[in-house]
Amino acid sequence: MGGYCLLIPKQNPYGYLMINFILWIKKHWFFVFYKPVSVILLLVIFFSGCSSLSPKLDRQAWNEYRVKFITLSGRVIDTGQCGVSHSEGQGFAMLLAVGHNDKATFLQLWQWTQAHLQIRKDRLFAWRWNPADHPPVKDMNNASDGDILIAWALFRAADKWRLKNLRKSANEIVSSIKNNLIYPSSVGPVLLPGINGFQDEKGVDINLSYWIYPAFIEFDKQQPDILWRELINSGLSLLEKARFGRWRLPPDWLRLEKNMFLSDKYPPRFSFDAVRIPLYLSWGGLDDLALFKPFLSFWNVQKTKKYLPAWTNLNDDDIAQYAISPGAYKVFELMRHAINEEHIIDNQGELKLDVTDEDYYSNSLSLLARLAAVDAKLP
């Protein structure tokens, strides 16, 4: 029976299971009518033989990540930025701990995050903690993506381990996000990157990688509100319109006034932030090919360059002379599976994932892309 699994292609493999079984029925009709018990047994063998198609998390990769980037106290170390910690990184690790059913590590992460970052009166989190500074938190501003990731992880943990106190904390954070981080615009409500420093009388600077679509879907289940659908719609609308440069890519930072343009406060690039956009689209099940075309177009740079550049300048189309990280590459591979578009991409081969060669951010993207694939049941 295992031979039938070999007929199932990588794209959408489960859609072919029934076809293969029907073909088997036609070939072995005698057993169907005269040996029903045998047929039931064969059904079990057939589907269990194809169980390897189900995506799985890599526990060893998580253990290596935990040892390398998470202290015993629960602080996530950003090895690419001199050992600082961020609310974003705490949120990444909390999501991964829940996904790998590592309750002990999750609780350590959450306890450290509460004690050292949830020091604002509004239940949001200081965005950066630097052990070299005294005090370690010099900027009390928040980062909305960190707030969202932490709340989402808390909801997932509350569901998995039936811990009511975690749900209470998540609800408090989400209520504060609704009250403090929503900015009305011409495309609907948009997400402030932080409470302070991003808006003025003319408009607002936004970061489209902060639209964490699967988290908004979860928030709507936990705290039903039309706001979450409106945020999803505004993010998708902005992605359709905010396209710059040769490959029509969204920028890391976008200025939104009456019109939209590249923010002059930040490098005019598609790079380390915006690479998370296809991660969250895929994770949220938003698989409209039109949303992914800019990323697919940029992917094709590797046909001539033999590598996928880490960034491109959206003003002059200059590209990095070095490749994206293995983690960002995993995000692009997740996107390919999500939209079943492998056939239009010149694949230069799988990058081998080696945790010892990746910094915190790259390795986080690698594990998050795998968790997203498991959640979405992608190969």
CA distances from 70 to 63, 171, 173, 253 (A): 10, 26, 23, 29
Task: Say which amino acid occupies 269.
Answer: R
Helices (H), 28-180: 29-34, 36-49, 59-69, 87-99, 103-116, 144-161, 164-180
Q: Give the whole-angstrom CA distance, residue 219 versus residue 147.
A: 12
CB atoms within 10 A of CB 19: 12
Point out the catalytic residue in the list 78, 88, 102, 218: 88
Rg from Cα positions in the chain: 23
Pick the catalytic residue: 102, 145, 252, 333?
145
As a whole number of angstroms, the distance between CA 374 and CA 245 comes to 33
145 in active site: yes
Among 297, 342, 341, which residue's Cα sits nearest to residue 319? Answer: 297
Residue with tokens 């990688």: 209
Q: Exposed, middle or buried: residue 6 (CB in 10 Å: 0-12, 13-18, 19+)?
A: exposed
Is 318 among the residues known to form the active site?
no
- Active-site positions read 88, 145
